[in-house]
C-alpha cells in the first residue's frame, strides 16, 4: 500500500516566498501522517496568470502587461538558484516524495517562464522538472513552450509515478509516453476547476489501468494582494472564484477513491493498493500485452531544448 496526500491549497498569489512557506507546511503535515507522496496543483508557486484573461493580455506592447509580466518573472521559481531548497529539505525530513507545480524562471533560456511540474524524491533530491509541452490558449502569452526532458517516471514503492500539467492530460501521445515507461500511478495537476477533472480523470484511469491523482488549486480574486502592480485595476476586473479546486483520486477501474472536492483548502489522504493495478491489467494493458509495437511506435525526444549548442573546436 502507498499512502498519498493531495494538497488543495491557494497560493499567496504572485508571492513566491510566502507560497513556498505554505507548501513546506503541507509537506511537513503530510509527512507527519506517514504519507509517501504529496501532490500540489499546477503553477501553484507563485500562482496561475489569471490576469491575462481579464486585462486584455493580447494587446501588443502594453505597459500594463509588461509591468505584470516583469513582476511574474521576479516571483517565479529559479530551480538552479535553489529556490526549492526548503521544499527539498521538508521532503527529506518527512521521508516523502513531492510533485509540485511551479512557474519556472529558466536560466538556460534567458529567464523565459515555463509551467513546470517538479518531482522531488523522499531523499529531498529533484529528479525531474517537466516543462509543459504546450501552454493552453492565453497561457502562451506568458509561458514558453516546453520540451520532453521531464517526461519521466519515477520508482515510488511498488509504483512507477509520472505526471502531466493540466491540458497535457488530454494529449494522447504525452500520456502514452509515460505509459510506455511503465507508469501505473498518474499525477494530473491543474490550476483548479471541477470542470477539468470530472470526466477526464476516470477516462485516464480506465485507459491506463492506473491510479490517477488530480491535484488542483483554489483561489478567489478577493485575495489579490494590495502590493501587486496595478492591484486596484486587477481587483476591478477580476471577481469571485477563479479556481474552485476539484482534487480527486480515481482507481484503475475508473471508479472514485476520492470524489472531486471543491471550494476549500485541505489535505486529502488515501491509500493505493498496487494489486488493483495488476488485477485491472488482465483486461487491458496499453503498453504491455495489449500494445502492438510492430504496428504502432512513439518516439520521445527527452533532450532539454536550448538555442545554443556548443562545439569543441579541438574535436
Taking Cα atoms as reference points, which of 206, 208, 193 lies closest to residue 261? 193
Model confidence pLDDT, tens digit, residues 42-57 = 999 999 999 999 999 9
**Residues of the chain above pLDDT 70, percent:** 99
Q: Which pLDDT tens digit goes with each residue over 104-115?
A: 999 999 989 999
pLDDT of residue 273: 98
Instruction: Work out the average pLDDT over 76-82.
Output: 98
Cα angle value 180/288/277 (rounded, 5°): 90
H/E segment holding residue 243: strand 241-250
Per-residue pLDDT at 315: 58
pLDDT of residue 208: 98
CATH class of 2-280: alpha beta
CA distance 22 to 26: 6
Cα gap 49→101, rounded to integer Å: 13
Is residue 268 pLDDT above 90, yes or no?
A: yes
CA dihedral of 281, 157, 92, 112, whole degrees rounded to 10: -30
Neighbour count for residue 146 (Cβ, 10 Å): 26
At 6 the pLDDT is 98
Q: Rounded CA gap, 165 and 132, in Å?
A: 6
Residue with cell 488530480: 214
User: Does position 314 have pLDDT exceeding 80, yes or no?
Assistant: no
Rounded distance, CA 63 to CA 298, Å?
44
**pLDDT tens-digit series, residues 167-183:** 999 999 999 999 999 99
Instruction: Reduce the secondary structure of 152-221 to three states and give it as a string.
Output: CCEEECCEEEEEEEHHHHHCHHHHHHHHCCCCCEEEEEECCCHHHCCCHHHHHHHHHCCEEEEEECEEEH
Task: Flag whether pLDDT at 237 surpasses 70.
Answer: yes
* Structure confidence by residue, pLDDT tens digits, 127-164: 999 999 999 999 999 999 999 999 999 999 999 999 99
CA 6 – CA 217 distance, rounded (Å): 10
CA distance 145 to 134: 5
- Mean pLDDT, rounded, of the chain: 97
Catalytic residue annotation: 42, 132, 166
Q: Is the dihedral angle over the CA atoms 170, 171, 173, 179 positive or is it negative?
A: negative
Amino acid at each position: 500500500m502507498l499512502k498519498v496526500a493531495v494538497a488543495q491549497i491557494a497560493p499567496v498569489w504572485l508571492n513566491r516566498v510566502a507560497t513556498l512557506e505554505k507548501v513546506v507546511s503541507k509537506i511537513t503535515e503530510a509527512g507527519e501522517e506517514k504519507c509517501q507522496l504529496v501532490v500540489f496543483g499546477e503553477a501553484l508557486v507563485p500562482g496561475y496568470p489569471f490576469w491575462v484573461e481579464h486585462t486584455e493580455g493580447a494587446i501588443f506592447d502594453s505597459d500594463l502587461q509588461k509591468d505584470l509580466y516583469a513582476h511574474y518573472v521576479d516571483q517565479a521559481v529559479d530551480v538552479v538558484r535553489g529556490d526549492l531548497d526548503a521544499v527539498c529539505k521538508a521532503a527529506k525530513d518527512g521521508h516523502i516524495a513531492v510533485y509540485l507545480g511551479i512557474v519556472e524562471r529558466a536560466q538556460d533560456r534567458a529567464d523565459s517562464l515555463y509551467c513546470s511540474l517538479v518531482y522531488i524524491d523522499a531523499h529531498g533530491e529533484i529528479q525531474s522538472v517537466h516543462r509543459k509541452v504546450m501552454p493552453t490558449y492565453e497561457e502562451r502569452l506568458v509561458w514558453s513552450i516546453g520540451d520532453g526532458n521531464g517526461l519521466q517516471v519515477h520508482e515510488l514503492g511498488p509504483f512507477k509515478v509520472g505526471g502531466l500539467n493540466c491540458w497535457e492530460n488530454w494529449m494522447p501521445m504525452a500520456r502514452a509516453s509515460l505509459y510506455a515507461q511503465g507508469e501505473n500511478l498518474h499525477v494530473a495537476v491543474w490550476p483548479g476547476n471541477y470542470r477539468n477533472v470530472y470526466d477526464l480523470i476516470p477516462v485516464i484511469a480506465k485507459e491506463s489501468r492506473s491510479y490517477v491523482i488530480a491535484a488542483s488549486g483554489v483561489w478567489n480574486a478577493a485575495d489579490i494582494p494590495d502590493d501587486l502592480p496595478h492591484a486596484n485595476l486587477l481587483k476591478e476586473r477580476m471577481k469571485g472564484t477563479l479556481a474552485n479546486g476539484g482534487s480527486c483520486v480515481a482507481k484503475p477501474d475508473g471508479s472514485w477513491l476520492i470524489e472531486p472536492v471543491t471550494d476549500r483548502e485541505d489535505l486529502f489522504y488515501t491509500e493505493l493498493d498496487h494489486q488493483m493495478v495488476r488485477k485491472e491489467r488482465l483486461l487491458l494493458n496499453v503498453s504491455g500485452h495489449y500494445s502492438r509495437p510492430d504496428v504502432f511506435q512513439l518516439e520521445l525526444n527527452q533532450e532539454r531544448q536550448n538555442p545554443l549548442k556548443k562545439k569543441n573546436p579541438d574535436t
